[in-house]
Structure 1
Amino acid sequence: MRVGTGPARGGRVLLVCGLPGAGKTTLARRLEVERGGVLLCPDDWLVALGLDPLDARPRRRFERELWRHALRLAGRGLVVVVELGGWTRPDRRRLREEAHRAGVPIELHALDVPFEERWRRVERRNAEPGAVVVGRDELAGFERWWQPPDDDERAAFDPAPGGGAGG
């Protein structure tokens, strides 16, 4: 998928991934400010559109379109922080390969947080008005999908400018 007209001229994608409660949104918002980026968070958009962020089918379709948009923006020189689950190695590899085919550098910021800490965070978030409520059993069920990146996978992504590594 070629979305730009050449190298990204300073644009890049910062892929933030992890399971619910790992701190993706907190990290993504910090990166947005620190790196002067544009944040694309599927949950925010889905809720604003009146869609259930936990409904897998429309979410997958929406995330594909949001990803294409992220590559277009990065191809025009913007730093784009994309908060996707990115739970599996094949998913992250596909995103990395698509970004590289588009001439867009991509950093990986993966958060691997123990279940009990994630549940504590999700339980607190569940109590907030308008929250997308995730139950403990549902959160535990997500565990089977998570494949934390190893050192080899992290090395396949682009380093942050200045030689820093992603999260």
Structure 2
Amino acid sequence: MSATLFIVAGLPGVGKSTRAAVLEAETGAVRMEPDAWLAELKLDIWDEERRARIETMQWRLGRRFLEAGVSVIVEWGTWGRDERLLLAHEAKTLGARAELHWLTAPPGVMLERISRRGREDPPIRLNHIHGWMSQIQAPQADELALYDRVVRQ
């Protein structure tokens, strides 16, 4: 069986880390999680420039794993259609499958989960979540048709 790229997408607090941990345990896939790297390096999770560099490094490693037949979980949020499609296309070019795990939750649930984990300083507020909801590009039928498998939660 070929390697699989699992794209775990959604806003903060929808359960991406939980879903990625389940996939990791079930499949043995290598998990690419920028928040964990930022925390390990004691970097500000709001530092978008460093986050982008970490995601670039993670994808460079992820491609090498996929080439070697090892499945990879990308847990970046991947709010944009073009970003998701590029990842899926590159994975398929390497002979891997591509799955999209699209997660959503009500704003109040997201805020409660974010508050419980207590990672963000300054804290995320409900108005942030509402703003992000207007920015994320939910996958449409034409995009969904391009993945080998789609899981919606």
Which residue in 1 is equivalent to 2:120?
132
SS in 2 for 1:156: coil
Pairing partner for 1:153 from 118, 143, 153: 143
Q: Residue 77 of structure 2: SS of its match in structure 1?
A: coil
Does the 8 Å CA contact 1:12/1:75 hold for their aligned counterparts?
Answer: no
How far apart are residue 90 of structure 1 and its match? 1.5
Offset at residue 107 of structure 1 (A): 0.8
> After TM superposition, what 4+ stretches of structure 1 lie above 6 angstroms from structure 2?
none
Picking from 100, 103, 106, the partner of 1:111 is 103
Greater share of residues in strand: 2
Identity %: 37
Give the aligned partner of residue 44 of structure 1: 36
C-alpha contact (below 8 Å) 1:13/1:71 kept by paired residues: no
Q: How many corresponding residue pairs?
A: 150
**Matching residue of 2:151:** 166
Q: d(CA) in 2 for partners of 1:58 and 1:26? A: 23
Aligned mates of 1:50, 1:95 — CA distance in 2: 27
Q: Mind listing any 5+ residue stretches in structure 2 that lack a counterpart?
A: none
Q: CA deviation at 1:114?
A: 2.0
2:50 is matched with which residue: 54, 58, 61?
A: 58
Structure 1 residue 23 corresponds to structure 2 residue 12: no
Q: CA deviation at 1:110?
A: 1.1
Distance in 1 between residues matched to 2:135 and 2:151, nearest whole Å? 21
Question: Structure 1: which 5+ runs fail to align?
Answer: 1-8, 160-164
